[in-house]
Amino acid sequence: MTGIKKLSTYIAYPSVIAMSFILHIILQSFGFSILVSTYTPVIIAVLIMCGLEFFIPHRDAWNAGGEDVKNDLLYMGLVQVLLPKFLSFFFAITLMAYLQSTNLQLLQIWPGHLPVYIQAIIMLLGADFFRYWLHVASHRWNVLWKIHSVHHSPSKLYWINVARFHPIEKILQFLLDALPFIILGVGPEVVSLYFIFYAANGFFQHSNIELRLGFLNYIVSGPELHRWHHSLVIRESNQNYGNNLIIWDLLFGTWFLPENKEVDRLG
């Protein structure tokens, strides 16, 4: 691996995440709508990841072929991810705007006086806590596993198949990581910041990019950790449940990243 490629394995993830937030701030400062300033950074981040999958692939065999791309983009991407995510985010923004304009906010306990980025961190911690336990339950309860197993069906990981979720599971996720915070009175800008990290990190998790996150593996649920969660070996895959953050895994004893070892078969 050349020097530039090796350097890229360390800086690609933090650089793209930082770029996404910076671009969001710039677009907001120029008066673009919340939807445009939220989705544009995510789309650009995905395009960069597409290039990185060919520039520094984790495994050449994991690069998606034509049929894989067709199936994942059309079936998983459009039907199960892009449209539901757009509609759920649009619903969240519309509902919040309506509640704020009519003074009918359901609850007034959200700390809206705090800086927006602090509010986004609070939302991230709370949403990930709920998603952590949903994820654990999905691996332990047969009725939920039948739904969640759709997500574990790929035999290789690349950015597009982050889409592989059963529609019912997507509904359950939305009920835990968005709706409660809308009810609490979270503002659109907070949800926007949360969504940018949620989306960009999610695509990175499943990407076929050779990345080294270093100390970030103790903070975020990145690709090095998430690959082990997709291991076909049960004792390896019943670990690293974190959606965006990995701190709940550290706290509850499910953090897993063995040294000098690569995940084998996926499932």
pTM for this predicted structure: 0.88
Q: Give the domain ranges of the chain.
A: 3-215
pLDDT (tens place) for every residue of the chain, 267 residues total: 688 999 999 999 999 999 999 999 999 999 999 989 999 999 999 999 999 999 999 998 887 766 666 767 765 665 555 656 666 666 666 666 666 666 555 556 889 899 999 999 999 999 999 999 999 999 999 999 999 998 898 888 988 888 778 878 887 887 787 778 877 888 889 999 999 999 999 999 999 999 999 999 999 999 999 999 999 999 999 999 999 999 999 999 999 999 888 888 887
- Distance in angstroms (rounded) separating the CA atoms of residues 176 and 126: 9
pLDDT at 80: 56
Residue 89 is predicted with a pLDDT of: 65
Question: In the structure encoding, which two tokens stand for residue 92, read together?
Answer: 């969240």
**What span, in angstroms and rounded, lies between the C-alpha atoms of 41 and 25?**
10
d(CA 51, CA 8): 12
Per-residue pLDDT at 169: 84
Q: What is the pLDDT of residue 184?
A: 84
Give the pLDDT score at 229: 96
3-class secondary structure per residue, the chain: CCHHHHHHHHHHHHHHHHHHHHHHHHHHHCCCCHHHHHHHHHHHHHHHHHHHHHHCECCHHHCCCHHHHHHHHHHHHHHHHHHHHHHHHHHHHHHHHHHHHHCCCCCCCCCCCCCHHHHHHHHHHHHHHHHHHHHHHHHHCHHHHHHHHHHHCCCCCCHHHHHCCCHHHHHHHHHHHCHHHHHHCCCHHHHHHHHHHHHHHHHHHCCCECCCCHHHHHCECCHHHHHHHCECCHHHHCCCCCCCECHHHHHHCCCCCCCCCCCCCEC
pLDDT, residue 91, reads: 65
